[in-house]
Chain A
Amino acid sequence: MRKAIVVTGISGNLGRTLAKQLHKTERIIGIDRRPFVGRPKDVEMYQLDLRKKKAEDVFRKNEISAVIHMGIMHDPRMSEEEHHSFNVVGTTRLLEYCAKYGVKKVVVLSSANVYGPSPDNSNFLTEDAPLMAASRFSGVRDLIEVDMLAHGFFWRHPDINTVILRPVHIVGPTIKNAPSNYLRLRRPWTLAGFDPMVQLIHVEDVARAMIAALSPELRGVYNVVGPGEVPLSSVLRELGHTPIPVPHPVARPLLGMLFKYRLANFPPPELDHIQFLCNVDGSRWQQEAGWKPRHSMRDTIRAVVGD
């Protein structure tokens, strides 16, 4: 039987997009707790939790050429314990199996958010910048831990070509992450007097980047940037939204209260993203992988609302 590529978190938006791009050329085995709606017939699916013993069977029974790990959850409403266990324990197990069963290529999806927005940030952060996100927002600690786990794995296993991708804010018509949700609000809050440059990337471009990362000669950490950077106000204008400017000293406690009483789904530290810079330099990835985004800036912005 053909060697397979294991894709974790395949039932999510990004996973499905990636599977659709890859299944015609590669044998794909998907692992996810959720069912894969609209699964192409040639994608083999294991509906299970990475933390369970059964996940190891996938590696025992199949010959695996590569693993794409996207099974990382970020839901501000989920308990921190469950978050941490699913993301960190899940990743640890998966990386163990990769080493044990001789997988030669591991691609891990991290995020440019691990650097964290801050007033001290340089305009473009390179891959060696410290991962400071948790210093202002403890809710993202496990995402940083996943990135560092993969990083440690990269150093401990020089024979395995590990790639860690840190894409900027992923947007798409059905994506449900904080930036996409925010950009779908008709009357979004902005912080009065703040208009940071933001970077967005289309979900299809991220899927293409994950596939490009399978190329055997690539290894290491890469920031992945979409069509560039643009002021937040221009994004909102392009989408035809009417922002409500809120003074920042008021916004934080107010949002904290709204979040607590479930009237808003953004935890207050997310406000940092519409106040400060968290932009990255993606030139290393573009050069070494010979990769370019396919969606223009306008396309990428419009993708949020599904045009």
Chain B
Amino acid sequence: MHLLSRGRARARELWERAVTGLYSMPWVMQLWARWAVQRSQRLDASAAIPFVPFSGPLAQARAALVTTAGIHLPHQPPFDMDDPEGDASYREIPGDVDLRTVVITHKYYDHRDADADPNIVFPLDHFRDLARQGVIGAVNHRHFSFMGHIEGPHLERLIQETGPEVAAKLRADRVDFAFLTPA
């Protein structure tokens, strides 16, 4: 019995690796994007896209990062990988975090490169450097991390609850612009 379940876990691991390997190919990713558009019920092409112009100067602007790459601190609860419809929750990443200590919980993409250098999905080191150089004014004292694979009822929670919650926190922090990165 034990052997059987171990075999199953191994098979699942191999399957997941094969799938994330496929999505590592840009053209597969674009096909997936097209398919995701076709099957989504939530997309309303006529809905107006919100827009506020950026008012400078950039050199005085406070920036915050928001990612859907599934990054979190080791002591924070990992994102829920058992629910096939994802997890709409988020984690606050402190601005002074050492990127070498963050972990990624996200089985829907191959994050070995991001584990080696989190800046490819969460470019905090670069933003700190831009603030030091005076290109931007400051980096916010906190950033926000989601996981990108969100479907079904969790999508509703993202739209109604957790997305607006993060937006309100950014406004409370007087953030001048947000930089968003996918996985």
Partners in one complex: no
